[in-house]
Chain A
């Protein structure tokens, strides 16, 4: 069973701080990694994707991938109250690498 593990939280950070969200996955063959943000009562929204080892930055968001450790993380710099949401890690799995397996999500709360 291919798994994606996330700390369910809640993770609480003060406004302006760095929020660090972590994810581990079990399928060594996974090639694509995604972070989705889901506000309460809304649909998941893609915020970052990463395919290669290392860091990828987009505005206040940085995704980090370490395939050897089977670990992917999301850093949110200068956290804002509007960043308060559940963050879902998703990893392609399955032999053909086209099925997304989601983690259970980490609830982030940014306190003003």
Chain B
């Protein structure tokens, strides 16, 4: 029943490791997003896909690579994790680009 779901909810890992976060939406939306919320609660967009096409690619280290296998899924792979990557990562979706966005529950990533 969950509209936008993410896995895992928590991720604790060592510096230098590679990890992935998965997102799925069952709302039939065309557009999906990845946001990062840091310790000061500032929410910043990282990437956006519209119908599997990358439309927003903010200034993010290229260690971060999004992948959208289909409209309903958007994954985020992070290589060579660093301490500064520790944050909550939110997936979101909207009917179309620029529309009302609905957020997933978030993935809290802790890099030790």
Binds B, one of A13-21, A38-46, A72-80: A38-46
The DSSP consensus for interface residues of chain A is strand
Quick check: is A100 within 8 A (CB to CB) of the other chain? yes
* Closest partner residue, chain B, to A31 (CB atom): B98
Docked-complex contact A46 and B101, CB < 8 angstroms: yes
Contact at A34–B44, with CB atoms within 8 Å?
no
Which residues of chain B come closer than 8 Å to A46, judged between CB atoms? 100-102
A residues near B101, Cβ cutoff 8 Å: 34, 46, 100
Which of B35-43, B63-71, B78-86 contacts its partner? B35-43
Contact status B103-A44, CB under 8 Å: yes
A45 to B100 Cα, complex, angstroms: 10
Report whether A102 and B42 are in contact in the complex, using a CB–CB cutoff of 8 Å: yes
Indicate whether A43 sits within 8 Å of B106 (C-beta atoms), given known contacts A99-B45, A99-B48, A102-B43. yes
Q: Looking across the interface, which residue of chain A has its beta carbon closest to that of B56?
A: A99
How long is the Cα–Cα vector from A86 to B37 in the complex, in angstroms? 13
Please, how many angstroms separate the alpha-carbon atoms of A34 and B44 in the complex?
15
B residues contacting A by CB (< 8 A) are 31, 40-45, 48, 55-56, 90, 97-98, 100-106
B48: chain A residues within 8 A (beta carbon): 98-99
B25 → chain A closest CB, angstroms: 13
In the complex, the answer to whether B103 meets A45 with C-beta atoms within 8 Å is yes
> What CA separation (Å) do A34 and B92 show in the bound complex?
14
Q: Which residues of A contact B (CB under 8 A)?
A: 32, 34, 38, 42-46, 49, 86, 88, 92, 94, 96-102, 104-105
> Is the Cβ of A86 less than 8 Å from the Cβ of B41?
yes
Picked from A88, A96, A98, the residue with its CB within 8 Å of the CB of B43 is: A88
Which of A32, A45, A97, A104 contacts B41, CB < 8 Å?
Answer: A104
Sort A-B residue pairs by CB-CB distance and give the 10 closest, nearest first. A98-B98, A98-B97, A43-B103, A102-B43, A44-B103, A43-B106, A92-B98, A104-B42, A43-B105, A97-B98
B96, closest chain A residue (CB): A98
